[in-house]
C-alpha cells in the first residue's frame, strides 16, 4: 500500500480525490492538510464521506509520504512547495496550473511532466512529478489530438465549451451562487482562457506547428461536466475521420469514440471522455464530454499515478455514471 497526502482538501477536487483514494485498492490516505480547518472532521466538510473516512484535517505534513497530491488554487502550489520540502522519493501530482507550461515545468529540482496520458503516457511512466491538465484543456485536447497527430489541422479551430458550476470551485462569487446561475448561461474570458497555453503546447507537440484556436468558454446552469464542441476544415470523409480517431484512441481505456451523438450524462461521475464526429460542408465537428472533477481533475490524477506505478490504468477508476 502506498501512503497518500492531500494538500488542500476542502474543495470539490479534494473531496473527489479523497473518495477515489480511500476506494483505491493500492492506496491508503495518510493525511489531508488544511491550514484553515485543522482538527475538523473531514466528513463535516465533505458530508458524502460520513462513515467512509474518520480522519480530520491537519496543519501538519508527513514529508516522506509516498504520494502527494496538491489541490490548491492556481499559484499556490509553488508557494507551498517553497515552504515544505518532501522526500525525493515522494511522487508529486499537482492539480493546479503552476507547472503545466514548459517554461514552468522545472521547480525545486523536479521536472513536472504534463499528465495527459493519451499523448504523454511514455513520459508519465518515467516521471516522479506530474502537472495534471486543466479540465477545459483535457476535453479540448482529446477532441483535437488525433487531427493534430495526423497533421490535419490546417485552419482555425473554433471551440465552444460549457462547464458546470463546480468548475468555479467552492468559493462563492457573483456568478456562482444559485440565484444567478440557475436558469442562466453566460460566457467568460472569451478567447483568452488560461487553458489555451497548455492546449497550444500539446497540439504543437503533436502537429509540429502552432494551431490557431478561438475558444469561447461558458458557464452552464448545471453542477458537473463539460460539454465542448470544436470545428475546423477537414478534407477527408467522415469515415476517414472516424478511422483516424478510433486508431489514435485504440489503447486509451478512458477515451471512447461514439457513432451516436453524445451528452453529459454519459460521463458524469466517471473518468471517461466521449467523443463524437460530424461532417458538414467541409467542416469536421468534434463533440467532447467529460466530468470536470474526475477526468478533468482528480480521476486523471489517479490515472496518472496508476501509470507511474505500473498498475492497471483503470485501477480504482471503474466508476459508473448516473445516466438515469
DSSP lists the bridge partners of residue 92 as: 68, 129
Name the residue among 223, 129, 239, 238 with its Cα closest to residue 182. Answer: 223
Q: Region 268-289: what's the mean pLDDT?
A: 98
Grid cell locating 276: 463524437
State the pLDDT at residue 172. Answer: 66
Annotated catalytic, 71?
A: no
Domain shared by 189 and 75, yes or no: no
User: Which domain range does residue 119 map to?
Assistant: 2-132+295-309
Q: How many domains does the chain have?
A: 2
Is position 319 within any domain?
A: no
- Long-range contacts of 271-275, Cβ-Cβ distance < 8 Å, separation of 24 or more: 271/295, 271/299, 271/300, 271/302, 271/303, 271/314, 271/317, 271/319, 272/321, 273/138, 273/139, 273/142, 275/142, 275/143, 275/245, 275/249
Q: Region 206-226: what's the mean pLDDT?
A: 96
Q: Region 106-121: what's the mean pLDDT?
A: 97
Domain shared by 140 and 127, yes or no: no
Q: How far is 69 from 11, CA to CA, in rounded Å?
A: 13
Is position 245 within any domain?
A: yes
Q: Region 298-314: what's the mean pLDDT?
A: 98
Which one from 29, 135, 137, 289 is the annotated catalytic residue?
135
Torsions phi, psi of 31, nearest 5?
A: -160, 155
Counting Cβ atoms within 10 Å, is residue 20 exposed (0-12), middle (13-18) or buried (19+)? buried
Question: pTM to 2 decimals?
Answer: 0.96
Domain shared by 125 and 229, yes or no: no
Amino acid at each position: 500500500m502506498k501512503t497518500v497526502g492531500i494538500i488542500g482538501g476542502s474543495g470539490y477536487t479534494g473531496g473527489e480525490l479523497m473518495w477515489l483514494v480511500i476506494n483505491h485498492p493500492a492506496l491508503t490516505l495518510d493525511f489531508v492538510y488544511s491550514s484553515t480547518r485543522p482538527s475538523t472532521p473531514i466528513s463535516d466538510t465533505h458530508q458524502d464521506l460520513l462513515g467512509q473516512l474518520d480522519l480530520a484535517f491537519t496543519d501538519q505534513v508527513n514529508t516522506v509520504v509516498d504520494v502527494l497530491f496538491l489541490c490548491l488554487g492556481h499559484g499556490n502550489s509553488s508557494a507551498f512547495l517553497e515552504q515544505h520540502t518532501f522526500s525525493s522519493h515522494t511522487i508529486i501530482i499537482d492539480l493546479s496550473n503552476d507547472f503545466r507550461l514548459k517554461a514552468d515545468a522545472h521547480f525545486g529540482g523536479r521536472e513536472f511532466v504534463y499528465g495527459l496520458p493519451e499523448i504523454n503516457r511514455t513520459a508519465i511512466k518515467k516521471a516522479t512529478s506530474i502537472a495534471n491538465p486543466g479540465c477545459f484543456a483535457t476535453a479540448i485536447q482529446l477532441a483535437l489530438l488525433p487531427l493534430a497527430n495526423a497533421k490535419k489541422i490546417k485552419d482555425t479551430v473554433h471551440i465552444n465549451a460549457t462547464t458546470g458550476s463546480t468548475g468555479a470551485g467552492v468559493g462563492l462569487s457573483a456568478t456562482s451562487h444559485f440565484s444567478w446561475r440557475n436558469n442562466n448561461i453566460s460566457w467568460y474570458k472569451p478567447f483568452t482562457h488560461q487553458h489555451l497555453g497548455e492546449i497550444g503546447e500539446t497540439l504543437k507537440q503533436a502537429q509540429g506547428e502552432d494551431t490557431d484556436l478561438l475558444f469561447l468558454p461558458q458557464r452552464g446552469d448545471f453542477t458537473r461536466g463539460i460539454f465542448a464542441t470544436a470545428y475546423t476544415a477537414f478534407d477527408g470523409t467522415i469515415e476517414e475521420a472516424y478511422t483516424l480517431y478510433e486508431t489514435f484512441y485504440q489503447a486509451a481505456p478512458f477515451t471512447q469514440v461514439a457513432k451516436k451523438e453524445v451528452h453529459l450524462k454519459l460521463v458524469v461521475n466517471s473518468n471517461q471522455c466521449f467523443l463524437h464526429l460530424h461532417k458538414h460542408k467541409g467542416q469536421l465537428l468534434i463533440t467532447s464530454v467529460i466530468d470536470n472533477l474526475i477526468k478533468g481533475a482528480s480521476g486523471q490524477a489517479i490515472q496518472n499515478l496508476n501509470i507511474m506505478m505500473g498498475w492497471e490504468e483503470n485501477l480504482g477508476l471503474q466508476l459508473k455514471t448516473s445516466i438515469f
